[in-house]
Amino acid sequence: MNAKSIRDKTVRDTKCNLILDAARKVFAAKGFHESRLEDIAGEAGFSKASLYNYYADKDEIFLYLAIRDFENLLSSLVAVTNTDQPFFVNLERHIRTSLNFFGEHFAFMVSATNFHVTLRINQERMVEQHKIISEKFSDYYHSILSFHRELIEKAQQKGEISSRVSAGNISRYISSLIRGTFIEWKMRGVQGDTEEETASLLAFIRSGIGSADPEDSGPVQSAGKQ
């Protein structure tokens, strides 16, 4: 790539990020369905017509923003991980990092999760470009699950985790607990205390739900890796 091509790409990437940053504000304030391209263009300082030089439509902007966010979250999780540390030390860092991330982008991230489900349901009606983008979004989401699963597998091998449930399922359960926490914040209309929520989730994951009934002590049916 020559110097001009590098410069052009840098300028384009900068403008794309400006549009995505503007779109986050608009989607968070109005929700996806009520947001218009005109709103995003105005927030970014672009004309609506010039927006089409970078993104095909509102759906594509939303998906690229979700992809960027999940990529940033995965990078943050990798950055706080120290494989020389015990599993639960890393898990605490992951929970705190995730809750801080979702709290910072709260309204948008809840919308992104719901929109992802909608895309899967309506995938047959999507144009090919949107299919490619939504698949990439899905890939990043599953990359986070896979990253957790690998840490869990290592912890099982070292005897740090005694559960007979598969690493893939444990990864999904932990992800669901974290996602459920910020969805509850959304329902309450107020973000909870990240440190308190982290400590609570970590304590629950360490001990499990607990059962006083000896009938519940039988073998657990373990599904395969997800």
Q: What does pLDDT average to in each consecutive run of 10 residues of the chain (226 residues)?
A: 82 93 89 88 94 90 86 92 93 94 74 54 59 77 89 92 91 91 83 92 87 53 43
Residue 77: φ, ψ to 5°: -65, -40
Where residue 31 falls (left for φ over 0; alpha for ψ -120 to 50; beta otherwise) is left
Domains of the chain: 9-55 (1.10.10.60), 57-208 (1.10.357.10)
How far apart are the C-alpha atoms of 11 and 54, rounded to whole Å? 12
pTM for the full model?
A: 0.77
Specify the pLDDT at position 135. 80
Pull the structure tokens for residue 164.
């007979």
